[in-house]
Amino acid sequence: MSTPLTRRRFIAIAATLAVGAGIPFAISRKTNRPTHSAGPNQEGQPVIWKGIALGSGAELRLFGVGRRQAEILINKVLAEVSRLEKIFSLYRDDSLISRLNREGRLKNPPSDFLQLLSISRDIHRLTQGAFDPSIQPLWNLYADHFRRNPKTETPPSERSIKDTLKLVDFNKVNFDTKEIRFAQKGMGLSLNGIAQGYITDKVAELLKQQGVSQALIDMGEIYGFDNANQREWNVSIRNPDQEDQILTTITMKNQAFATSGGYGTVMDEAGKFTHLFDPRTGGSQPRYKSMSVMAESAAVADAFSTAFSIMDEAAIRAAAQVKKAQVWLVMPNNELKKI
């Protein structure tokens, strides 16, 4: 079975009205089971749900709804997340992506799978191959290498990396309404660099369709919306080396936000090799300590935060401009730089 890839984000966010007092909102990844917030839903205050979704802590803040309505909405959200996990989760042997990776083809794929692959192809092109969902064989190579050699401080051999890179090329993933298929045996997909964002967007879409006018969603990526265009969300980027230190705070309105960093998942005990692979070279050491992206969709923010970690600043700027995204880099010396 393919080893699933996980990431940890170091972000703290607060919701504020354009004219009014702030409402605190701190993300925690330590919640073990779903809980509902206590107390009545006061005017202007959200109904809050905290729980587990997509393998880590999740949180919803719903404004302008009663508690009974919020419970119904939360159940619909969780059903939607469960439905999409059955498509995209590498944690599940019975998911469609796991079946595709085992068999090399998947007949009659659902529209969500095709839609996410289409978005991925667009980002793959914009990032000149830095974002490549066919990275899974490289992940497996590194994971198996360090599982067998937990004390080693060296990566897999150049030969094994070179051979594995022959299986990494998103252009060799063919898909249409009839079938998704790999051009070579041994290829595999991981959509973990974009699926959380896509699912976040789908949750926002569902809530809007159900009549929710304001909400803050954390499904691994952050999305805040307000149909009246009054509420702003203050997003704080934390120091990767000191979680209690905030480097900067950014105002977000009807947008999504994602942060990636190599520190989130390391492959070796020394923390030298990370999960942020360069699909073009096979390396696993990102250029920056962390990468934060604000964009109109969570899928774009998610994918960009993954790809930009291994791209130079000029290439980042060019791709970001196309999607009207804003980017913040934490440099190796901990300097914060905006692009």
Q: Annotated binding residues for Mg(2+), as ranges? A: 193, 302, 306
String of b and e for 214-237 (b: at least 16 CB within 10 Å)?
bbbbbbbbbbbbbeeeebbbbbeb
Strand 105-107's sheet: what is its strand order? Answer: 105-107, 179-182, 173-175
- With beta carbons less than 8 A apart as the criterion, state whether 139 and 164 touch: no
Q: Which residue from 30, 80, 79 is spatially nearest to 58, judged by alpha carbons?
A: 30
CA distance 106 to 104: 7
State how far Cα 26 lies from the chain centre. 18
Residues placed in the known binding site: 193, 302, 306
- With beta carbons less than 8 A apart as the criterion, state whether 320 and 326 touch: yes
By the 10 Å C-beta count (0-12 exposed, 13-18 middle, 19+ buried), 16 is classed as middle
Q: Which residue from 199, 202, 214 is spatially nearest to 70, judged by alpha carbons?
A: 214
Name residue, tokens 């969300």.
233
Q: Which amino acid is at 156?
A: P
Using CA atoms, how far residue 38 sits from 28, 68, 218, in Å, is: 17, 13, 19
* 112: enclosing H helix or E strand: helix 111-126
